[in-house]
Structure 1
Amino acid sequence: MSLKRIYTTVFLVVLAVMLGIVAFSSWYTVDQSEQAVIQTFGKVEEGISEPGLHFKMPWPIQTVEKLSKETFSLQFGYEEKNGEVVEFTSDTKMITGDENIVLADMVVMWKITNPGKYLYNSDDPQAVLYNATSASLRSIIGSSQIDEALTSGKGQIEVEVFDLLTSLMEKYDVGISVTAVKLQDVELPNAEVRKAFTNVTDARETMNTKINEANRYRNQKMNEAEGEKDAIISRAEGEKAARVEQARGDVARFNSLYAEYVNAPDLTRKRLILETMEEVLPYAEIYIMNDDGNTMKYFPIRPMERTETTGTTPKPPTTQEGSGTNE
């Protein structure tokens, strides 16, 4: 075999290897759950997030780094291993704004939004996120009261931690975006303190219950009093209207009697006397006398009327001579 032929064979082998490298390193695939970043001689050029087959310059000119697009979970203050929870008390121990000690842990949901910055702006971007979470949570807990941290203020604490942590990650610029935060547990440091706080909380709830019951009782009594007041006012208004109408009727009756009296004063006077006696002495027998003083005979109509009305036998009329009303 000649030397020329050997050189030709070696050249063809090298060329085939180079062509193979170019062919295999110029195409790459990005999955739907992935995102890629292209580097030209180590410099980040662009990020690729669209799934599918893509072309690049062959190695070693350009290289590709692929990262996941899924949402990750950062467990602050504890770690789950093989179904067991390992707590890091030194990380979760914090001081509240009213100088009480609590243990607070949190879950942070995050994702990679800039692969280039995630790869090259920090040696350990997840450590940056962990430290930023610690700083944010301690800052918010440090400005909150212990009652808020342990009871109804957890939602507001989560909102404030999310806002502060988001602003810190934007400032650190490591390609990470925080999507959500969730407080897991906020506890007191030991069982004795937890029991004391529970007793205080129970007493406060009992106080609130008693206050609510007292307010309901007060409202009930006030409503009853208002109803009674309205009823009294309504009865008074009705009685007022009745008395006014009665007074008007009495005035009209008096005016009518007065008009009759003006026309026939003697007759009207005698009639009024007789009517008054009937009202004052309803069971008395009235005798009408002549001017000579002799008793007149009369027919006892009234006893018979009472007998027909009541169905009883009338008593014998009483005869009184020399007394009665003159007509």
Structure 2
Amino acid sequence: MISLKRIYTIAGLVILVVILCIVVFSTWYTVDESEQAVILTFGKVEEGITEPGLHLKLPWPIQSVKKLSKETFSLQFGYEEKEGKIKEFPDETKMITGDENIVLADLVVQWKITNPEKYLYNSDNPKEILYDATSASLRSIIGSSKIDDALTSGKAEIEAEVRDLLSTLIDKYDIGISILAVKLQDVELPNDKVRKAFTNVTDARETMNTKINEAKKYENKRKNEALGEKDALIATAEGDKAARIERARGDVAIFNKLYEEYRKNPNITRQRLVLETIEQVLPNTEIYIMNDDGNTLKYFPIRPLEKEKPKAQEQGSENNE
């Protein structure tokens, strides 16, 4: 029969072995590259561990380890995607724009844990705080924006403003996370009729902008053509001006030379000028100059006689043959 002392001895050894196992296995821990850890001493945060690898600590229950991921998380606001299926929450995404229109807006917030101590102990549920801050930021920015901006070209600006406001709120709450990016997924009208009407308005606006751009393009084309014609006319006028100036200078030079000759011998120069002028005025006129005393017959048909003389010479040569 086993004695009571032996039973106590065996139980003590078992307890000692268990304690030794706990000490051995709880004095070291590993941190993966995608993880970060926090060391707790009797529940109080001592330090944060971000370096991957094997680390040592005091055995449990003196010290314990809390591990958190360093990956980037995504918060889906207004919908939930699981296994390729999307579930929407329209009541959460319905909001009023600055010009008193209703839209449905959902977005994705990318965030990560940057301070494990604050993430674990500054709030009971940091994810819920992030969700509520996202909702407040989005509603605030949409509430101060026009519906046209929210549905068309103003999405990028709205995203930037939501990201700035959300980052400010998260920093104020001091829950140990950082906002990396905010992306609007869908901003649409609440029903098909309103959506179709707005689409028609948007198409009309796009058509108007297209026509305006075409008109401006045609205006610029015509303006450039007019400028080109103006430059061509100016260049032609400048050329004509230069030609006329040079022609006038030539005429002046000719006149000065004639004047010098005229001063040397006025009579000869005068006669030559008269003859040149007559030649220019009457280029095909036959002129005969006769020196007589005024008693000569004024009409003398020289040209018919000149024409008959060659004929008479031709007939005489024929008779001789």
TM category, shorter? 0.7 to 0.9
Match of 1:217 in 2: 218
C-alpha separation in 2, matches of 1:17 and 1:245: 121
SS at match of 1:289: coil
Match of 2:32 in 1: 31
Deviation at 1:2, TM superposition (A): 5.4
Match of 2:79 in 1: 78
Deviation at 1:12, TM superposition (A): 2.8
Q: Which amino acid aligns with 1:57?
A: L
The 1:258/1:52 distance shift into structure 2, 3 A limit, reads closer
> Structure 2 matches for 1:229-244, cutoff 5 A?
229-244=230-245
Summarize deviations over 1:245-278 as a string: whole Å, max 9, x none.
2222222222222222233222222222221111
Q: Which amino acid aligns with 1:96?
A: T
> Structure 2 matches for 1:71-110, cutoff 5 A?
71-110=72-111
Runs of 4+ in 1 over 6 A off after TM superposition: none
C-alpha separation in 1, matches of 2:291 and 2:135: 125
The 1:31/1:262 distance shift into structure 2, 3 A limit, reads closer
Match of 2:262 in 1: 261
Match of 1:307 in 2: none
Deviation at 1:132, TM superposition (A): 0.6
C-alpha separation in 1, matches of 2:58 and 2:284: 136
Match of 2:20 in 1: 19
In structure 1, stretches of 5+ residues that fail to align are 304-314, 318-327
Match of 1:127 in 2: 128
C-alpha separation in 1, matches of 2:189 and 2:34: 41
Q: Which amino acid aligns with 1:87?
A: E
C-alpha separation in 2, matches of 1:81 and 1:148: 31
Deviation at 1:179, TM superposition (A): 1.3
SS at match of 1:50: coil
The 1:264/1:116 distance shift into structure 2, 3 A limit, reads closer
TM-score when normalising by structure 1:
0.85
Deviation at 1:4, TM superposition (A): 4.7
Is contact 1:113–1:175 with CA below 8 Å preserved after alignment?
yes
Q: Does 1:207 pair with 2:208? A: yes
The 1:263/1:54 distance shift into structure 2, 3 A limit, reads closer
Out of 89-98 and 57-66, give the one that drifted further: 57-66
Q: Which amino acid aligns with 1:17?
A: V
C-alpha separation in 2, matches of 1:2 and 1:61: 36
Is contact 1:129–1:169 with CA below 8 Å preserved after alignment?
yes
Q: Which amino acid aligns with 2:144?
A: S
Tell me the matched-pair count.
302
Q: How much identity, in percent, do the aligned residues show?
A: 73
Match of 1:309 in 2: none
The 1:236/1:198 distance shift into structure 2, 3 A limit, reads same
SS at match of 2:80: strand
Is contact 1:289–1:295 with CA below 8 Å preserved after alignment?
no
Match of 2:163 in 1: 162
Q: Which amino acid aligns with 2:290?
A: M
Deviation at 1:3, TM superposition (A): 5.1
Match of 1:174 in 2: 175
SS at match of 1:149: helix
C-alpha separation in 2, matches of 1:51 and 1:256: 108
C-alpha separation in 2, matches of 1:258 and 1:14: 144
Summarize deviations over 1:103-157 as a string: whole Å, max 9, x none.
1100111112222222222222111111011011111111111111111111111
The 1:9/1:261 distance shift into structure 2, 3 A limit, reads closer
Summarize deviations over 1:185-241 as a string: whole Å, max 9, x none.
111111111111111111111111111111111111111111111221222222222
